Structure 1
Amino acid sequence: MGGAVRFSYGWLDYADSPGADLELLRGEARGRSGRASFSLQYRWYDGFDAVHHAWAGWDAGADSQLRAGVQQVPFGLLPYASHSFWFGSGYYLGLEDDYDLGVVWEHGAGAHRWHVGWFSGDEYGDGGRFDRYSFDVATTEALPYRERGRVALRYEFSEESERHGFAAGVSVSSGHIESRMDGRRHGHDAAAVHAQYRRGPATVQLQWARYRYGHPEPRIAMSAFMFPFEVAAEADVPTFNLAWEVQRPGWFDAITCYNDLSVTLPRGHHPGLRESWQNVTGCSIAKGKMVTYVDWIAGKNMWFAGGPGIGIDEPGGDGWRSRLNINMGFFF
């Protein structure tokens, strides 16, 4: 059994600042008996509560496990394609740290690791529910769609030593979204190539992802944290992250400073679309059961950084906007 409590402070250069607040209460449990295991986590935010994950697993071999339930979709760099509390652009597009209801088989053989998963839809099976942790396709009046079935495949090759670490792989997923108006289904595909290299205290993350929703409109609606918004229906999402772990940080257990850059580049020549940028510079500081993130988030035409959405061209998307976010968490 365990949990966490997190507090946050925010300052914005484009709107009224939220100030200091209680950001999260979290409860979790995990266990194991023989080959069987389980893990679950539930979260309470300001104004809503949501499941993070809830799965049961069975060990099928020395390095092989089958899991069923709400769990992370195996796609791209794992566990995250970022270092900051704010994540990268892929998180807000459903390409990073996305949790859905499904079955996943994970198998490792030396330097090789495979994931094969099938997901019935989002974690609630209801695109009209906006109060959730993971970003999923939203059912809105203008774009009434929801996720319906997806297969995810991921392969990674990795090597680790005391001073060096390298991992590279490829991820693909294919499924459908469903129109709530007429029940018609349209394709939903994504692919990514990804790599991570560590040398001493330095880490480099690289990823290029592409996604496509095959419905007629050039936009799709996404939602999480109670708010729906629109994004480009087809785009490339390159990511370039650098991190440096401070050696012998004195009183602290660990300090890691980073710069995470990601861009959303709409594909095609549809009117009403334009690129979005997000850059996060910051440090994570750990001491005992406390972890603090200090992040400066700069966004251009970027949701949650003063923009109207992601990859769309609407009033309010011009120019860079910034926000300071400090998050202090206590874990038990």
Structure 2
Amino acid sequence: MMCKHRTLFILFVLIFCVLQTVLAGEKPKAHLGGALRFNYNYSDWKEGNKHRGGDFGFDVFRINVNASWKKIRLDAEYRFYARTSGGGMLKYGWVGYQFNDNHVLQLGQNTVPFGAMPFNSNNYFFSINYYLGLEDDADMGLKYCFRKKGWELDAAFYKNADLLDFSEGVETSDSRYAYDIAGRNKEVNQGNLRVAYNWGERWKHQIGASAMYGGIYNLDTEKMGSRYAFAIHYTLNWKRWNLKAQYTTYKFSPENKEDEPRNQITMTAYGAPYEIAAHADTYTASLCYTFPIDKGILDEIRLYNDFSMMHKRKAGFNDSFQNITGCMLGMGPVLVYVDYALGKNQPWLGNDWNEAFTSATLEKGWNARLNVNIGYYF
């Protein structure tokens, strides 16, 4: 054991000496940032929450690191949630090479290029796509980014989802920021391609298309299934207005055991898995307007409405809906999101957790949640 520690110590010293020699000519640049957020919610389907007048507590503490040395780049974000919400987790973290202003390579856990980016929504809850693993997701692989004369092209290969446990037969961890396939299936060998074009000066448009294809490895049958997703999106910026619209279709085809259903699949994040329909289409539309204030501590107010629906391509599965009306108050480093969230057959907005994104029931109506998120960003 002593020999092992001595070897590791010598290796560490050698690496440190090499880095000191390499960095002697030019010092790296680094920026440390982050955020601390708190959250209040009043949920009409929770009797205890209603009787208490809602609940207010800790949301997340996060650390962001952005560094560069010559043409080498590093970008990472680590988040600390409550243990019941998954605990600590890496949102993304990659090392890249900036060839020039037009070409970049990113290696590591980087954001999956898909749909309107960086987000297909304005509110705290994102759109339904997020809960299906199709918005603000990051996986482990290599991504190439090209930007020139209005064109955006991203091509990526992801070996697997983030936070992989290399032990044979171990299921995907529930402690993760973005939704990934879980249970007895794992995401593997995923390819992504996203192309978008920007034009206009007063009316700034973007239109784009995205494609994803990958494998689904089953731990029981040891067979490889498949999955795909396609999307087209459009965004518009005019004066203080912003519009986003997107259509997405996806299909998961796992190779489960004979006695297990294949019309649904397990997804997980924030410490709690649930089921989603294996084949569905989603429609999202977002509109927002920003009022500049610049009085006192208030810089701006952004009003928005984000609508999304999930049409399940399985007879007997009822569709899911989500509509968020709210505003963002910008006060220097402080951002406050005030959202009135309505959901039907949405697990985060109702008491049907495991079947809301699969069969659901026609008897269940809309649920509402008033949510206030307060964050200091540094």
TM normalised by structure 2 equals 0.83
Deviation at 1:175, TM superposition (A): 0.3
Moved more, 274-283 or 302-311: 302-311
Give the CA deviation at 1:246: 1.2
CA distance in 2, matches of 1:276, 1:155: 28
* Aligned sequence identity (%): 28
1:187 maps onto 2:232 in alignment: no
- Give the direction of change, closer, same or farther, for the CA distance of 1:91–1:310 in structure 2 (3 Å limit): farther
Secondary structure class of the residue paired with 1:74:
coil
Alignment partner of 1:28 is 2:59? no
Structure 2 residue 181 is the aligned partner of structure 1 residue 146? no
2:78 maps to 42
Counterparts of 1:74-113 in structure 2, within 5 Å, are 74-113=113-152
1:275 to 319, 328, 334: 319
**Which structure is higher in strand share?**
1
SS in structure 1 opposite 2:163?
A: coil
Equivalent position amino acid for 1:300 in 2: K
Given that 1:232 and 1:310 are in contact with CA atoms closer than 8 Å, whether structure 2 keeps it comes out as: no
Q: Is the 8 A contact 1:84 1:293 kept in 2?
A: yes
1:323 maps to 2:369:
yes
- Matched-pair contact (CA < 8 Å) for 1:249–1:255: no
Which residue of the partner structure matches residue 211 of structure 1?
250
CA–CA separation in structure 2 for the residues paired with 1:317 and 1:158: 44
1:247 Cα deviation from its structure 2 partner: 3.3
Q: 1:203, 1:176 → 2: CA distance?
A: 36
Q: Deviations over 1:44-72 (max 9, x none)?
A: 00111110111001012331100001111
Question: Is 1:124–2:163 an aligned residue pair?
Answer: yes
CA separation of 1:34 and 1:248: change in aligned 2, threshold 3 A: same
Q: Which runs of 5+ in 2 are unaligned?
A: 1-31, 166-170, 256-261
How far apart are residue 290 of structure 1 and its match? Answer: 0.4
Q: Which structure shows the bigger proportion of residues in helix conformation?
A: 2
1:3 to 23, 30, 34: 34
Which letter does structure 2 place at the counterpart of 1:222? M
Partner of 2:305: 259
Q: CA deviation at 1:165?
A: 1.2
CA distance in 2, matches of 1:72, 1:292: 25
Partner of 2:24: none
- Tell me the secondary structure at the aligned position of residue 197 of structure 1: strand
Give the deviation of 1:317 after TM superposition: 6.7
* Stretch moving more, 301-310 or 287-296: 301-310
Indicate the residue corresponding to 2:14 in structure 1.
none
After TM superposition, the structure 1 = structure 2 runs for residues 145-184 of structure 1, keeping only pairs within 5 Å, are 145-161=185-201, 163-184=202-223
User: 1:279 deviation in Å?
Assistant: 0.4
Q: Which runs of 5+ in 1 are unaligned?
A: none
Deviations 1:96-148 (A, max 9, x none): 00011111000012011100000011101254311110111111xxxx21111
Cα displacement (A) at 1:30: 1.0
How far did residue 310 of structure 1 move? 4.4
| Superposition pairs of residues 238-317 of structure 1, within 5 angstroms | 238-248=283-293, 250-251=295-296, 252-269=298-315, 271=316, 273-306=317-350, 307-308=352-353, 309-314=355-360
Could you say if the C-alpha distance between residues 317 and 288 of structure 1 is closer, same or farther in structure 2, counting changes exceeding 3 Å? farther
Report if aligned partners of 2:172, 2:181 keep a CA contact under 8 Å in 1. Answer: no
Aligned pair in 2 of structure 1 residues 195, 310: CA closer, same or farther (>3 Å)? farther
Aligned partner letter, 2:295: G
What secondary structure is seen at the aligned counterpart in 1 of 2:342? strand
Contact 2:112 2:192 in 1 (8 A): yes
